[in-house]
Amino acid sequence: MAGKRRAAVLGSPIAHSLSPQLHNAAYAALGLDDWTYDRFDIDEAALPGFFAGLGPEWAGLSLTMPLKRAVIPLLDEITGTARSVEAVNTVVLRPDGRRVGDNTDIPGLVAALRERGVEKTESAAILGAGATASSALAALSRICSGEVTAYVRSERRADEMRGWGDRLGVRVRTADWADAAHAFDAPLVISTTPKGTTDDLAARLPQRVGTLFDVVYDPWPTPLAAAWQQRGGSVLSGLDLLVHQAVFQFEQFTGDRRPVLDAMRAAGRAALG
């Protein structure tokens, strides 16, 4: 479609989102001068009205909390990846008017780990049990041949994680958050908790550690990530996830598969200072 093309990230709150910087940097790098990417503070109640006002210039939407499940009834189709975790973070607005939902967090996690040389693991640990933890489990279903241990704060959360494991075909064992330091014996640890949650665990690392994927990106490094690096372990941040999932979104929105990862990562680092 010729003419101006639009995309945006929706959520509430949304002012902190780095997505505009990442996507607009990709447009600039490839000379896509007709493309713009914005942010809109939209909650569940406002989402249907926003969708109703979208014109033909719109190509795609990125979704953050609290919209990843609320958007599903508004879509014509969702991919198997999104359906596997009942969460959509990407909506492709097709020229024929169809709205297709996908989840790029899952392949984004896999791609970020692959970039660091982690293509397979015999076991893994997850810290936390929220929406990001289910995406982490889905990613691990692709690369983990053994058991995943999830460290959680309540029996309800434990039941949820075991349920996700059954659904995704992953062997999940749950453990109490009080024992979270035992997670660090695993070759791969994915921390899905908000900033500050793991700070007190930084002093409890063993002498030898494997790979840590901490989904926080601001402030960075977290105390846990800093301590992990001091032990000589490999560390990935939330920015690694953010840029890799954004690449998949960019490709779906634009249809352009030229490399943009480096441009997005540079923009993200610049935005974070």
pLDDT digits (tens, 9 = 90+) for 140-197: 999 999 999 999 999 999 999 999 999 999 999 999 999 999 999 999 999 999 999 9
Confidence of residue 1 (pLDDT cuts 50, 70, 90): very low
pTM confidence score: 0.95
Give the pLDDT of residue 259: 98
Q: Are residues 243 and 29 in contact, defined by beta-carbon separation less than 8 angstroms?
A: no
Confidence of residue 3 (pLDDT cuts 50, 70, 90): confident
Residue 93, class by beta-carbon neighbours within 10 Å (0-12 exposed, 13-18 middle, 19+ buried)? buried
Give the pLDDT of residue 2: 58
Query: Which of 4, 68, 120, 195 does the annotation list as catalytic?
Result: 68
Residue 130 vs residue 197, higher pLDDT: 197
Q: Where in the chain is the domain with CATH 3.40.50.720?
A: 107-236
Give the pLDDT of residue 13: 96
CATH 3.40.50.10860 holds for 5-103+242-272: yes
Asked if residue 223 has pLDDT above 50, the reply is yes
Classify domain 107-236 by CATH number.
Answer: 3.40.50.720
Q: Is 195 noted as a catalytic residue in this protein?
A: no
What's the chain's average pLDDT?
97
Query: 26-61 pLDDT, tens per residue?
Result: 999 999 999 999 999 999 999 999 999 999 999 999
Q: Where in the chain is the domain with CATH 3.40.50.10860?
A: 5-103+242-272
